[in-house]
Amino acid sequence: MTTMIRILVLCTGNSARSQLAQGYLQHFAGNRAEVYSAGVAPHGVNPLAVQVMAEDGIDIAHHTSNHADEYTDIPFDYVITVCDNAREQCPIFPSSATKIHHSFPDPGVSTPGVDTPGIDAITSFRQVRDQIKVFAREFIATRLPERDGIAH
């Protein structure tokens, strides 16, 4: 019997980058993995993250914003940090977890009075979404290869 691969994606707020990564990793892994996301200072799922994923056919509207401490008892196979702050503040997870860091720009950073509301923000989210999609596809292809003849 094959055990389920467990992946945790960490970011500071668990509102955008980690949510996008969780959505794509789960999409590409299918039933070969359970993917979770969390933050070191969670503050809710950003509606723009939900919107840009829906544009690509992936529904993350049901995702919740969770604190990393909620998952310290789960034996993860991979812990992926998607921002430098999360890597620095990453809780101690079981040593068996492979830790991977790939920093993506924060799509939610804006300069009040300078950015055009709605336009620059959504463009930023789409750009980061596309970067995360490439990372997630490659991660699953190299870390969770299809196993012919094995029930998934």
Q: How far apart are CA 118 and CA 148, in angstroms?
A: 45
Q: At what angle do helices 17-29 and 119-143 cross, to 10 degrees?
A: 40
11 tagged catalytic? yes
- Residues 48, 83, 86, 136: which is the catalytic one? 83
- Residues 41, 58, 90, 97: which is the catalytic one? 90
- Amino acid found at 65: S
- Residues 7, 11, 60, 128: which is the catalytic one? 11
Cβ–Cβ < 8 Å for 76, 6: yes
What are the C-alpha distances in Å from 79 to residues 53, 126, 147?
A: 22, 24, 22
Q: At what angle do helices 47-55 and 119-143 cross, to 10 degrees?
A: 60
138 tagged catalytic? no
90 tagged catalytic? yes
Q: Which positions are catalytic?
A: 11, 83, 90
